[in-house]
Structure 1
Amino acid sequence: MQLLFIITCLFFKSLAIDLIPTQVTENISMPIPSGFRPMTDDEIVSKYFTTKRPLALYTDNSLMIDLGVNKSVTEWNEKDIEIMASFQKSNVFSLYDDVKIISEGSREVNGRKHVYMEFVSTVKPDEKSFRQDAPIQKYTLIQYVIVGRHALVFNFTCPSQLQSEWQTTSHQIMEGIHIKGKLK
């Protein structure tokens, strides 16, 4: 019986994804999966439409799983984070053809209140296209925090078929975020 228990523990340990504590910026550190690396400028441009470069974007070697950190100046106050979250939720729903919420709420992470939303999004192909593409479905865990006059957004995204493999790890990443001092 003990042997079966040990084998089971070793099996599940082998499925676990190693997380490495990483200094993302001078003030932000978080655990990053060991196989991830910073995205190149060309990869960011080819994958994301953005006018402002994120603080950090990491990806796996297949470029299918991404972890990002963004910062923006905000008029929101730290005590208004729940209200800000409702606006952000509206933005998420406007970006996709369909959004299925898995969970949402607030939690304290290393002394700061964060709000999060976990969902599966669907983008349908263009009906007028001559190509017969399948809908694109992605699993996302997005987390917000307000620090002084800045809003930080942390997001983890992968294809929805990898959700069961990455869901626990995405939560471990978000729960391991450390922010020290004021942001510049």
Structure 2
Amino acid sequence: MKKALLTAPVICLMLLLMAARPFAEVELVKKRVLSERVEILIPKGFEVMSEQQMDFNYAKSQSRPSVIYTNSNEASISFSYTDNTADQDMIGMYQDNFYKIYAKQFKEAKWFNHGVKEINGRQVGYLELMKPELGHEVYQLIFFTDVEGKLLMCTFTCADRQKPEWENVAKQIMGSFKANG
């Protein structure tokens, strides 16, 4: 009887520990993107999205990213090297404007954070939110800075149900950002 009484709590504890176990570590690899302008960590196994897939995904969009890395559409990180003039002194202004635009456009979005951080000696603006997209919710970490006098926007996206798995990875990616030159 005593053995049975001890077994139940031990089994419960084991189940709790297994449930609390973190997701498998995602291995990140260093990549140079946008003609070597940027060095950043990207999850191993992510591949550049084909031109055909980008054409399909952005057929109705006014702007299309310069490059997208994805793992079969489970999660993606896109880079948009814009024509907008930018320098380090403008990042705070861009952050304020982007926050206002997103808050107005996505009234039902759930905000986790937004602001400006210093990453590898550079001012980087960011927005972190859960927003509706095509009938479901998506987690996005959008970060941006100036590169060679133009604004570079990076967006990590995954489905809401995958946020626990990808949120820390997205922040590691943002934290690894380095502009070359």
Pairwise TM-score range, normalised by the shorter structure: 0.7 to 0.9
**What SS class does the counterpart of residue 98 from structure 1 fall into?**
coil
For residue 70 of structure 1, what is the aligned residue in structure 2?
80
- Counterpart of 1:80, as a letter, is M
Q: Which ranges of structure 1 fall in alignment gaps of 5 or more residues?
A: 1-7, 126-134
- Structure possessing the higher radius of gyration over alpha carbons: 2
Q: CA RMSD in A?
A: 2.3
CA distance in 2 between partners of 1:144 and 1:73 (Å): 13
Which of the residues 46, 68, 91 maps onto 1:57?
68
Q: How does 1:6-155 map to 2 (within 5 A)?
A: 12=22, 15-25=24-34, 26-48=36-58, 49-51=60-62, 53-61=64-72, 63-96=73-106, 98-123=108-133, 135-155=135-155
Give the residue type in structure 1 aligned to 2:26.
I
The answer (yes or no) to whether the contact 1:117–1:141 under 8 Å persists in 2 is yes
Read off the aligned partner of 1:171 and give its amino acid letter.
K
Distance (whole Å) between structure 1 residues aligned to residue 26 and residue 124 of structure 2: 24
**CA–CA distance in structure 2, aligned partners of residues 54 and 166 of structure 1:** 21
Structure 1 CA distance, aligned partners of 2:176 and 2:50?
24
Following superposition, the deviation at residue 52 of structure 1 comes to 5.0
TM-score normalised per structure 2: 0.80
Structure 1 residue 178: Cα displacement: 1.3
The answer to whether the Cα contact below 8 Å between 2:28 and 2:44 also exists between their aligned partners in 1 is yes
TM-score, length basis structure 1: 0.78
In the other structure, the counterpart of 2:180 is 180
Deviations 1:85-116 (CA, angstroms, capped at 9, x unpaired): 11112332344352111011211111111011
| Secondary structure of residue in 2 paired with 1:81 | helix
Q: CA deviation at 1:147?
A: 3.1
Which residue in the other structure is 2:169 paired with? 169
- In the aligned structure 2, how far is the partner of 1:31 from the partner of 1:172? 8
> Residues 105 and 97 from structure 1, CA distance in 2 versus in 1: closer, same or farther, beyond 3 angstroms?
closer
User: Does the 8 Å CA contact 1:99/1:121 hold for their aligned counterparts?
Assistant: yes
1:31–1:173: 8 Å Cα contact kept in structure 2? yes
- Taking a change above 3 Å as real, the CA distance of residues 95 and 146 of structure 1, as seen in their structure-2 partners, is same
Of stretches 97-106 and 28-37 in structure 1, the one that deviates more from structure 2 is 97-106
